Every structure is written in structure tokens, then in C-alpha cells.
């Protein structure tokens, strides 16, 4: 089979590798689509410390069951599934403390930029009837947003600022509005992303040409939003969020930052506003719920840019250049 093998900084090659053979509890998945994530950009640039080359990357993928081990009981050949990447060791302190996502021995199977992958049955989630593979490929980012919601515990009737109108920002906006937030103000400099944000219910602001602080005061009776969600991961947005959030509010870092990025924070400002800074890592215990969410979100506008497996590197570069929102690679 063919697979996109990452071998170092800006080194991603289509290679011939053996089709994996499933063990007793394994499922062989024929990949239908794999989304390109911002972390794939960081990986290709050599800035993501979790992985080391060589490896097949791509963690937002869906497909159909091509073969199943003899002890597999929950899926069968032909079933359509979304695959949850990352397997905890189940032995370390964090796993035994109910925090599997912080596992010190976590294992990630070869990814979805390939013709086939082989994973444990427990990592496969059957798709709702009638749901397209393209929409289903968004299960992983939806799961990440649900993790944020679990940790934030938003109050019905509050107001939120979302910084960034990429895939996560647009999904975040919809889930917030579904979850009781009455108003989402979304800050995004790219015009086509602002148009999509408006279409999914946000009040959009161009931070390059408009006064975001003044608009927030107008929309919140001068108080500022109760929540600020940085869906980009840029240090300057954390700094901005601290200034714009309401007293007693929460600034939530959702986007994945460059590991070398540094934000400048005045501790006294945190003290006088009594604000909380929160973060999320991975998406523990949310993937099954994310699959159930998929038919209820307006995700089709996020799609439209697709590349064949042979052009995986070009697909990652396209995301870096903001040529699309959720770019898909299709083997």
C-alpha cells in the first residue's frame, strides 16, 4: 500500500509499505478521508515534540472496515468508522488516576495519510447512517471542542469571544451556541472565514480594521465577555484575551501554539480581574459523543478543498497558507 511517510523537517514522501495484518483484537481500516490539522503543519516543520520521525502521520481519519481480528465483536467488515487516535498504556500513574490523556507511555498508531491503517477495535466508532465520510472526518476536532466544553462548564445566557475562524473556531462557535451561550463574537482577519463564521451564527469582527474592544463593550453592556476562547494558539491572543475578558471570567487556550512561543503576562492583571486561564490537552472521553454530534452541526461549509494521497505535502502546505478550512486527503 501507499503511505505518506514523515522523515524530518519538510520531508514527507509517498512510500510503499506492507499492508498491516490485524491481530485478534485489531481492525484493518481502508482510509476514505483524512483531515489536515494544524498540528500536521507543526510536525512537518519539526516543531511538534510529541512525535519523532519516521512515521505515518494524520490523525483525523475515517474509513471502512476491511478486515477484523478473530476476537473483534463490535464492528464487522464493511462498517463505516471514525478512528480515535492515541492509545494509553493503562499502567502509568496518570492512566490509573483516570487521566489517560496525560499518559506518559502513550502510543500512537501509524496515521491516516495512507491507504490502510490497523488499530484496536476499541479505537473505532461506527458512523451514523447517512453521514458522509467527509463530514465524519471532522469527528476528531469536534471531540477536541467537546473537551473544552467539559472543562469550561459554560453557563446558559453568557457571552463568548472566539479568537480565530478556522476549523476549531467555527466548530467552537456552533457548540457554544447549542450549549447555551447566547452570543458569540468571533474575531478573524481572513474574509472568507468571517463569512463562514457569520453563516454559523457568530457576530464577526475584522481585528485589523475594526475596534474589537469597543465592539465587545457594546455587545456586553461594557462588561466584556464571560469567556474568551483562543482557537489559534498565538501568544498575542492570550495577552489580548486577558485584557478583553470580563472580571471573574475565563480565558481558554484551545489552539496549539508553537512550542517556542512566549506570551507576556502581568500577574497583577490576573489578580485584579480574578480571571481563570484554562487549557485542554487531547480529547479524553469525548470521541463517541463527537460522532453523535456530527449530524447536528453545520459542517459542510468547512469542507471543499481535497487532495489525493500523492499530494499530502501540498495539502499540509495549503493549510499553512490558509487556502481552506478543513482540507481533506483522500487515498
pLDDT tens track for 60-74: 999 999 999 999 999
Q: What is the pLDDT of residues 288-304, one digit of tens each?
A: 999 999 999 999 999 99
C-alpha radius of gyration, the chain, whole number: 20
- 192 and 248 share one domain: yes
- Does some domain include residue 220? yes
Element (H, E) at 289: helix 287-293
Rounded Cα distance between 331 and 310, Å, is: 8
pLDDT band at 166 (very low <50, low <70, confident <90, very high): very high
The reply to whether 40 falls in a domain is yes
Average pLDDT over residues 240-262: 94
pLDDT at 90: 94
Whether 146 and 134 map to the same domain: the answer is no
Residue 73 lies in a domain: yes
Determine the pLDDT at residue 305: 94
**Together in a domain, 205 and 148:** yes
- Is 90 exceeded by the pLDDT of residue 50? no
Q: Find the mean pLDDT for residues 236-261.
A: 95
* 293 in a structural domain: no
Question: Are 110 and 36 in the same domain?
Answer: yes
> What pLDDT digit, counting tens, does each position of 95-106 carry?
999 999 999 999
- pLDDT score of 69: 96
- Answer whether 162's CB lies under 8 Å from 205's CB: no
Give the mean model confidence (pLDDT) for residues 259-265: 91
Domain contains 285: no
DSSP assignment of 53-120 equals SSEE---EEEEEEEEE-TT--S--TT-EEEE---B--S-SHHHHTT-GGG-TT-B----SSBSEEEEE
**Considering the domain boundaries, does residue 286 fall inside one?**
no
CATH number where 153 lies: 3.40.50.720
| Chain centroid offset of residue 289 CA | 14
On whether both 75 and 189 belong to a single domain, the answer is: no
Separation between Cα atoms, residue 47 and residue 139, nearest integer Å: 25
* β pairing state of 203-205 and 183-187: parallel
Options 13, 21, 39, 279, the catalytic residue? 39
Q: What pLDDT score does 324 carry?
A: 84
> CB–CB of 322/194 below 8 Å?
no
Total domain count, the chain: 2
- Whether 48 and 115 share a structural domain: yes
**What is the DSSP secondary structure assignment for residue 133, as one 8-state letter?**
H
Residue 88 has pLDDT above 90, yes or no: yes
Are residue 30 and residue 125 in the same domain, yes or no?
yes
pLDDT tens per residue across span 302-328: 999 999 999 999 999 999 888 889 999
Same domain, 70 and 160: no
Question: Could you tell me what percent of the chain has a pLDDT over 70?
Answer: 100
DSSP of 9-72: TTEEEEEE-PPPPP-TTEEEEEEEEEE--HHHHHHHTT--TT--SSEE---EEEEEEEEE-TT-
Q: Considering the domain boundaries, does residue 289 fall inside one?
A: no
Q: How confident is the model at residue 117 (pLDDT cuts 50, 70, 90)?
A: very high
42 catalytically annotated: yes
Confidence of residue 264 (pLDDT cuts 50, 70, 90): very high
pTM, two decimals, is 0.95
Is 231 within 8 Å of 169 (Cβ atoms)? Answer: yes
Contact of 252 with 276, CB cutoff 8 Å: no
Above pLDDT 90, what percent of the chain?
91
Q: Which residues contact 313 (CB under 8 A, 6 or more apart)?
A: 4, 12, 44
- Give me the chain's average pLDDT, please: 95
pLDDT at 260: 87
Alpha-carbon gap, residue 227 to 248, rounded angstroms: 10
Q: Is 157 exposed, middle or buried (0-12, 13-18, 19+ CB in 10 A)?
A: exposed
CATH number of the domain that residue 63 is part of: 3.90.180.10
By the 10 Å C-beta count (0-12 exposed, 13-18 middle, 19+ buried), 245 is classed as buried
181 and 260 together in one domain = yes
Residues 314, 196 share a domain: no
In this predicted structure, what is the pLDDT of residue 243?
A: 97
221 and 172, same structural domain? Answer: yes
Mean predicted confidence (pLDDT) in 95-122: 95
Reply yes or no on whether 39 is catalytic.
yes
Q: Are 165 and 190 in contact (CB under 8 A)?
A: yes
Confidence of residue 52 (pLDDT cuts 50, 70, 90): confident
> Which of these is catalytic: 13, 21, 42, 182?
42
Give the mean pLDDT of 138-167. Answer: 96
**Per-residue pLDDT at 49 exceeds 80:** no
Report whether pLDDT(266) > 90. yes
Q: In terms of residue numbers, what domain contains 54? A: 2-138+299-330
Note whether 121 and 210 are same-domain residues: no
> Is 292 part of any domain?
no
Amino acid at each position: 500500500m501507499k503511505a505518506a511517510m514523515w522523515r524530518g523537517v519538510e520531508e514527507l514522501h509517498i512510500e510503499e509499505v506492507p499492508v498491516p495484518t490485524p491481530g485478534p483484537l485489531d481492525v484493518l481500516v481502508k482510509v476514505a478521508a483524512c483531515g489536515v490539522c494544524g498540528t500536521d503543519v507543526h510536525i512537518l516543520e519539526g516543531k511538534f515534540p510529541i512525535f519523532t520521525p519516521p512515521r505515518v502521520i494524520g490523525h483525523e481519519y475515517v474509513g471502512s472496515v476491511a478486515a477484523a481480528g478473530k476476537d473483534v465483536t463490535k464492528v464487522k467488515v464493511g462498517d463505516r468508522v471514525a478512528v480515535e487516535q492515541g492509545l494509553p498504556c493503562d499502567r502509568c500513574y496518570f492512566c490509573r488516576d483516570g487521566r489517560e490523556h496525560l499518559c506518559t507511555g502513550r502510543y500512537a498508531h501509524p496515521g491516516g495519510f495512507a491507504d490502510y491503517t490497523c488499530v484496536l477495535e476499541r479505537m473505532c466508532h461506527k458512523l451514523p447512517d447517512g453521514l458522509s465520510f467527509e463530514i465524519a472526518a471532522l469527528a476528531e476536532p469536534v471531540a477536541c471542542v467537546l473537551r473544552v466544553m467539559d472543562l469550561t462548564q459554560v453557563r446558559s445566557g453568557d457571552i463568548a469571544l472566539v479568537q480565530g475562524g478556522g476549523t476549531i473556531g467555527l466548530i467552537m462557535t456552533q457548540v457554544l451556541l447549542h450549549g447555551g451561550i447566547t452570543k458569540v463574537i468571533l474575531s478573524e482577519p481572513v474574509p472568507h472565514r468571517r463569512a463562514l463564521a457569520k453563516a454559523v451564527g457568530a457576530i464577526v469582527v475584522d481585528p485589523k480594521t475594526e475596534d474589537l474592544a469597543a465592539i465587545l463593550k457594546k455587545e456586553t453592556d461594557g462588561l466584556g465577555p464571560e469567556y474568551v476562547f483562543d482557537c489559534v494558539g498565538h501568544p498575542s491572543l492570550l495577552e489580548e484575551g486577558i485584557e478583553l475578558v470580563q472580571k471573574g471570567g475565563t480565558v481558554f487556550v484551545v489552539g496549539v501554539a508553537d512550542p517556542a512561543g512566549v506570551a507576556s503576562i502581568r500577574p497583577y492583571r490576573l489578580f485584579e480581574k480574578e480571571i481563570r486561564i484554562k487549557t485542554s490537552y487531547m480529547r479524553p472521553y469525548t470521541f463517541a459523543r463527537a460522532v453523535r454530534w456530527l449530524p447536528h452541526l453545520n459542517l459542510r461549509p468547512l469542507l471543499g478543498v481535497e487532495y489525493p494521497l500523492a499530494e499530502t505535502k501540498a495539502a499540509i502546505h495549503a493549510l499553512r497558507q490558509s487556502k481552506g478550512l478543513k482540507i481533506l486527503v483522500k487515498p
